[in-house]
Amino acid sequence: MTTYVGRRVMVAVLLVAGFAGSSVFARGAPEPQGAQAPANEAWQREFDHVCSRTQDAMSFSEEELVAFVRRCDALLPQIEKLDETRRKVYVGRLKMCRGLYAYVLESKRNEKK
Amino acid sequence: MNMKRFAILALILAFCIPSLSQTGTKKKRPLPYDFGRVVINNYSENSELSPVVFQHWIHRSRFTCRVCHVDIGFGMKAGQTGIRAVDNERGYYCGACHNGKMTVDGKPLFAACSRKAGYDDQKRCERCHSLGKKVQSDQDFFTFSQPLPKERFGNGIDWEKSEEIGLIKPAAHLDGFTSPRRSLAVQKDFDLNPKVEGMPDIIFSHKKHTVWNGCELCHPDIFMGVKKGSSHYTMVDISEGKSCGACHVSVAFPLTDCQRCHSKQVQP
């Protein structure tokens, strides 16, 4: 009888633990660091470095602009690996940043023609 | 019998003539406090929430266009960004500021979406999900706009002058989003010839546009032409939201304010 009650208690404990566990998993992996976190990931440092220079784009030489476009292209696969939210935000931002460098580059090449 | 036919004919004419006399639909000019209002409904109604009503005037008095449309990453058209509740909850998009921590005028800004929101949070949800609801905002347009220099169109506010005289100070930086950058070199204004006889030239204030928008917000997505004069912009295209119309139809001063752009005197 005691064993039977003990078993029932054990089953109940296991069930409760199971529910608790499943609710933890339902929340998913820990949330990504908030956007307020400092740029401590390599891709973000590179992103900041590349995309903080857009206002200087007009003063860059063609070679410098080509280098910036390449750095943007190299960043894309790293950003595409991020979680959905950050991927959406940073792919969009990178596109704008790359677009501007490519635009200024084309403009400079056209001037020479 | 004839009288009956006459009455029916008269009724038909009475209903049809007014509709025949109107061609197209007349656009209603938005009221000053509604100018720049954006309704976002990507996922709201599917989640049994009212669509979001976003008021540009509140936000543009605090931040430059670039902070939101470049650094935070909001698209230039309603619904283009596909903002999800989880994005806000993770601290992106609306959640970049509406995180319950940022303070404005000493008060914490209400937090945006949360999966933990319960019935008690309904009022907080309705701060944004407010289409068709009577929601009392903390910000009153008339109190806000009263001391600011006036304009004839749009919000009825001269935003440029308001900033110039220090009545508003839109921030160009948001921690965690704005990449560290030097201030922008002043760009020269230039004029564009509208190629219509008697129409004043357009003076384009590169300075004002770059200070508020940066470069990448406009180039190349909105203005693709690389060489000055290589792209042609028509008022029809602009009124459909292309080129200048991306902002100057619904948020920045509208197209009805002709002289703000066509401002260079015609040479006799």
CATH number of residue B250's parent domain: 3.90.10.10
Tokens read off for B217: 């917000």
| Beta bridge mates, B157 | B150
Please give, rounded to a whole number of angstroms, the shortest distance from the CA of B242 to a CA of chain A: 18
| B138, B47: one domain | yes
| B119, B69: one domain | yes
Tokens read off for A46: 């590179």
Instruction: Note whether B222 and B205 are within 8 A (CB).
Output: no
Mean pLDDT of A37-56: 86
Residue A4's pLDDT band, with cuts at 50, 70 and 90, is low
| B128, B197: one domain | no
Per the structure, the complete domain to which residue B223 belongs is given by 182-268
pLDDT of B1 reads: 54
Residue A103's pLDDT band, with cuts at 50, 70 and 90, is very high
Q: Which of B92, B121, B144 delimits the end of a domain?
A: B144
In-domain check, residue B65: yes
Q: Where are the alpha helices (DSSP H) in chain A?
A: 2-26, 42-51, 62-79, 84-112
pLDDT along chain B (268 residues), means of 10: 75 62 68 95 93 96 96 95 95 96 91 82 91 89 97 95 96 92 74 81 86 92 78 90 94 92 75
Report in angstroms the alpha-carbon separations of B59 from A51, A91, A113: 24, 24, 44
Residue A85's pLDDT band, with cuts at 50, 70 and 90, is very high
Report in angstroms the alpha-carbon separations of B103 from B76, B99, B106, B264: 26, 10, 6, 43
What's the domain count of chain B? 2
In-domain check, residue B241: yes
In-domain check, residue B87: yes
Q: Please tell me the pTM assigned to this model.
A: 0.80
- Of A42 and B197, more confident: A42
Query: Per the CB < 8 Å rule, is B221 touching A57?
Result: no
| Beta bridge mates, B204 | B190
Q: Which of B97, B123, B144 delimits the end of a domain?
A: B144
DSSP B73-141: ---SSTTSS---HHHHHTT-GGGGTTTTT-EETTEEPPP---TT--GGGHHHHTTTS-TTS----S--H
| B211, B131: one domain | no
Which of A95, A97, A110, A107 lies closest to A52, judged by CA?
Answer: A97
A57 contact residues in B (CB cutoff 8 A): 215
Q: Which residue has the tokens 């009805």?
A: B256
Tokens read off for B240: 């459909």
pLDDT at A29 over 50: no
Which of A98, A94, A111 lies closest to A65, judged by CA?
Answer: A98
The 3-state DSSP class for residue B157 equals: strand
The predicted complex's ipTM stands at 0.83
pLDDT of B120 reads: 80
pLDDT of B255 reads: 93
Instruction: Note whether B145 and B155 are within 8 A (CB).
Output: yes
- Of B203 and A72, more confident: A72
A48 contact residues in B (CB cutoff 8 A): 179-180
Tokens read off for A89: 């935000």
Which of A76, A73, A79 lies closest to A102, judged by CA?
Answer: A73
Tokens read off for A42: 């390599």
| B105, B202: one domain | no
Spatial distance between the Cα atoms of B61 and B109, rounded to a whole number of angstroms: 15
In-domain check, residue B8: no
Peptide bond into B108 cis (omega under 30): no
Substitution target in B92, B97, B216 with the highest count of A β-carbons within 10 Å is B216
pLDDT of A11 reads: 59
Spatial distance between the Cα atoms of B177 and B165, rounded to a whole number of angstroms: 28
| B44, B112: one domain | yes
Domain edges within chain A: 1-29, 40-113
In-domain check, residue B108: yes
Query: Per the CB < 8 Å rule, is B185 touching A107?
Result: no
In-domain check, residue B232: yes
| Beta bridge mates, B104 | B107
Residue of B nearest to A98 (CA): B216
Tokens read off for B52: 């979001």
Spatial distance between the Cα atoms of B233 and B247, rounded to a whole number of angstroms: 15
Instruction: Note whether B92 and A86 are within 8 A (CB).
Output: yes
pLDDT of B41 reads: 96
Which of B90, B84, B83 lies closest to B68, judged by CA?
Answer: B83
Spatial distance between the Cα atoms of B43 and B113, rounded to a whole number of angstroms: 12
Q: Which residues of B touch A (CB under 8 A)?
A: 70-73, 75, 81-82, 84, 86-87, 89-93, 95-96, 99, 175-177, 179-182, 184-185, 210, 214-217, 219-221, 226-227
Residue A27 burial by Cβ neighbours in a 10 Å radius (0-12, 13-18, 19+): exposed
pLDDT of B258 reads: 92
